[in-house]
Amino acid sequence: MDALVALWHWFGAWDARIWQAIIAGSFVAAGWLVNGRRNRLAARRLRAERLRDAHRAIFAEIDANLSNLLDEAALRAEASAFALRIYEDPNFVPLIPRERHDRIFSALESEVHVLPRVTIDPIVAYYSQLLSL
């Protein structure tokens, strides 16, 4: 107990400017800790937002491509009209258009690391198949 009283008197003997510096330093250190935590939370929120936006954009592009490719009636009608035109017009030269269905994926290719692995693999497989077509 005497040691505690002696310690209390020793601290009490310090100059008021030292106490001011200690209190100010404590507030500055607490501010650094709070600011660091807020920065990490903001970075986590931004990363989650980028992830949602990337998912939404890529899946919208894939959905648009699949809706074009899976409309069998429209594909059959277009194929019939195309075949009829080849048959009827001897000067017709069929050209296969070089369409780009990977605009969003190309734009987000450098950001693909934001996506979780469970979605990266099927997305890359889809676009690899699309590119091979």
Q: pTM for the complete prediction?
A: 0.59
Q: Does residue 3 lie in a domain region? A: no
Q: Tokens 């009827």 appear where?
A: 88
1-53 pLDDT, tens digit per residue, is 677 777 777 777 777 788 788 889 999 999 999 999 999 999 999 989 988 88
Q: How many domains in the chain?
A: 1
The two tokens of residue 101 are 């269905």
Instruction: Identify whether the C-beta of residue 70 lies closer than 8 Å to the C-beta of residue 106.
Output: no
DSSP structural state of residue 89: -
- Residue 59 inside a domain? The answer is yes
Considering the domain boundaries, does residue 95 fall inside one? yes
Range of the domain at 81: 16-132
Look at residue 2 and tell me if it is in a domain.
no
| Domain presence at residue 67 | yes
